[in-house]
Amino acid sequence: MRWLLLPFLLFPQSVELINENSQLDFIKPLGLREKRYLLRAKRWRKHTLTWQLQTQNLLDADVFIVRNTLHRAFNEWSTVSSVDFREIPPGVIAKEEVDIEVAFEKGEHSDGFPFDGQDGVVAHAFYPRDGRLHFDAEERWSLNSPEGVNLFQTAVHEIGHLLGLEHSMDVRAAMFAAKRPYDPTFTLGDDDVRAIRSLFPKRMGGIVEDDGIISTDNEVSTTTVATTTRSEVKTGNKKNTF
């Protein structure tokens, strides 16, 4: 048996346990051999997306660590493309609807895809332009440890789905369709970069250029990357090693 991240068409991406011999015909590359990613037809209509962490099921002392981990994860995608992310701090009421809402949830949480407790489905994200990203609060989350479920790696993968990416067949890609073990050097692969640039072409001298796409959007926002040290975080009654 092995863990695979299964695409659910119009439904969120989540982790399921399937048989090693299951057919994976639904994962097919597009175009040339080196292009192994898949894209959703529906896309975001802007290059700057807002996000906000909902802090229920998190201790106050844990919010800082989680927010900075999310900044790092969002930064993986914004560094290599023209998509930018702007955080709306927890509890702040935004003037406009927030694009991406991140939360740690338990069991049934009103989106039709209940979590199943520790060691089952660990997270799911909805495709554009829904913007919901949920982590299972009952998992044992970690950062700088091979134990538990790595929050940073999981967040990078799920943000890819939020942006419109499906799974990649490239085993080196962050969007590869398998739950990966802890990797202290984890970052986007070349296939991830090609995929996100097909949706959000890299800015060249302030102009977005790629495949004839040009944008005059001048609204640019950067994410803050913070180095975190090993500490412990509790979600609900579960202790998480960060």
Indicate the pLDDT class of residue 31, thresholds 50, 70 and 90: very low
Cα atoms found within 13 Å of the Cα of residue 54, Cβ hemisphere only: 15
Mean pLDDT of 135-150: 94
174 contacts 149 by C-beta, under 8 angstroms: no
Spatial CB neighbours of 137, under 8 Å, sequence gap ≥ 6 = 57, 58, 104, 105, 106, 115, 235, 236, 238
Confidence (pLDDT) at 234: 54
Q: Is 167 marked within a binding site? A: yes
Length of the chain: 242
Least confident of 7-21, 33-47, 87-101: 7-21
- One DSSP character per residue, 44-111 reads -S-SEEEEEEE-TTS-HHHHHHHHHHHHHHHHHHHHTSS-EEEE--TT---SS--SEEEEEE-S--SS
Query: What are the tokens at 45?
Result: 């209509």
Confidence (pLDDT) at 42: 82
Q: What is the CATH number of domain 39-241?
A: 3.40.390.10
Q: Where are the domains of the chain?
A: 39-241
Q: Of the candidates 140, 153, 161, 169, which has an alpha carbon nearest to the alpha carbon of residue 241?
A: 140
Least confident of 92-96, 158-162, 235-239: 235-239
Q: Which of 76, 158, 209, 232 is catalytic?
A: 158
Least confident of 52-61, 187-196, 201-210: 201-210
Measured CA to CA, the distance from residue 68 to residue 185 in angstroms comes to 17
**Distance, CA of 138 to chain centre:** 18
Confidence (pLDDT) at 35: 53
Q: Is 84 marked within a binding site? A: no
Mean pLDDT of 191-197: 96
Least confident of 13-22, 72-81, 85-94: 13-22
Reported as a single tens digit per residue, the pLDDT across 156-192 is: 999 999 999 999 999 999 999 887 899 999 999 999 9
* 60/29: higher pLDDT: 60
pLDDT at 24 over 50: no
Active site annotation includes 34: no
Cis status, amide bond into 86, omega within 30 of 0: no
**Distance, CA of 19 to chain centre:** 25
Mean pLDDT comparison of 51-55, 111-115, 169-173, highest-scoring range: 51-55
Q: What percent of the residues of the chain are helix, what percent strand, and what percent coil, each to the nearest 5?
A: 20, 25, 55
Q: Is 190 marked within a binding site? A: no
